[in-house]
Amino acid sequence: MRLLAPLLLAVLAYWGLRRISQRYSLSARQFKWLAGMAAALLIILVLIVMGRLPLQALAAPFLFLLTFLLRNGHWLMRILPMLRPKYQSQSSSQGGSAGPGVSAIKTSWLAMELTHSTGAMDGEVQDGQFAGTRLSDMSLDELLILARECRQDADSIQLLEAYLDRMFPDWRAHAEADVDTEGSGRSRSGGNDSLMTEALALEILGLGGDASREDITAAHRRLMQKMHPDRGGSDYLAQRINQARDFLLRNA
């Protein structure tokens, strides 16, 4: 019976890890890290069950860790997709389509991707001194320099501000006094004259060319649940998502 319990725990742990990996599209490297942590916890549990490890010695740190995970688990799962290896992100962005469950928004300066399931954002700089660099690989100071470079392009600065608002909520406090990046983005937000095309609308909603009206509505609802301003999203991204839905429904 003592041997059966550890075996059952191992099977349940593996099943749980596979479900998490599929749910959050973890890379092989992320899965190995998660499996390693799960294995360590499993060994500790087995030692406790077999009476080899006093429970009192682990009670305090275990309760602390459990409390931390319960409070911050959803944030950790949102961060995981942002930790994929750089080469993986580049290979996915070089294709013509962002793939299912991922929206793509491109401007003169940025090629941005939004993962539907987690709301995670990342992108690649297309112009300037940081061309070819992933936003997730840049420091806040570098991102603010990029903001100064692209501030004359309304779509690019608003898209970059949306990323900064999500990843660095207090970024404006660090901006230099003579650079009013916030004002430049807000002043242009009502005058976005960018033309919407079918290909762009499909990329924004993460849909294929054979999408039905129901698919369009479902994709819009799913994205707005993540990116609506009332849920901590961006006014600019919400506006572009609405424009994409309206365009596709008009031409469906």
Write the pLDDT tens digit of every residue in 89-134: 343 334 344 555 788 888 899 998 888 777 788 999 999 899 999 9
What confidence score (pLDDT) does residue 24 get? Answer: 59
Distance, in Å, from the CA atom of 248 to the CA atom of 252, rounded to the nearest integer, reads 6
Higher pLDDT, 199 or 20: 199
- Helix or strand holding residue 145 (H, E): helix 140-150
Find tokens 């087995």 and name the residue.
46
Determine the average pLDDT of the residues in 59-88: 58
β-pairing verdict for 102-106 and 110-115 = antiparallel
Our CA dihedral for 23, 19, 91, 156, rounded to 10 degrees, sits at: 20
Determine the average pLDDT of the residues in 134-162: 88
What confidence score (pLDDT) does residue 124 get? Answer: 93
Determine the average pLDDT of the residues in 172-178: 60
Determine the average pLDDT of the residues in 11-22: 74
Distance, in Å, from the CA atom of 173 to the CA atom of 231, rounded to the nearest integer, reads 22
**3-state SS track over 38-80:** HHHHHHHHHHHHCCCCCCHHHHHHHHHHHHHHHHHHHHHHHHH
Instruction: Give residue 56's pLDDT band: very low, low, confident or very high (50, 70, 90).
Output: low
Distance, in Å, from the CA atom of 215 to the CA atom of 210, rounded to the nearest integer, reads 9
What confidence score (pLDDT) does residue 238 get? Answer: 81
pTM above 0.85, yes or no: no
* pLDDT of 247 strictly over 50: yes
Are the C-beta atoms of 6 and 48 separated by less than 8 Å? no
Dihedral class, residue 119 (left if φ above 0, else alpha if ψ from -120 to 50, else beta): left
* pLDDT of 68 strictly over 50: yes
What does the angle CA 91 – CA 93 – CA 97 come to, to the nearest 5 degrees?
A: 115
Query: What is the maximum span of the chain, computed from C-alpha positions, in angstroms?
Result: 71
Give 103's strand partners.
Answer: 114
For 125, the 3-state DSSP assignment is strand
Write the pLDDT tens digit of every residue in 28-53: 676 777 788 888 877 877 777 777 76
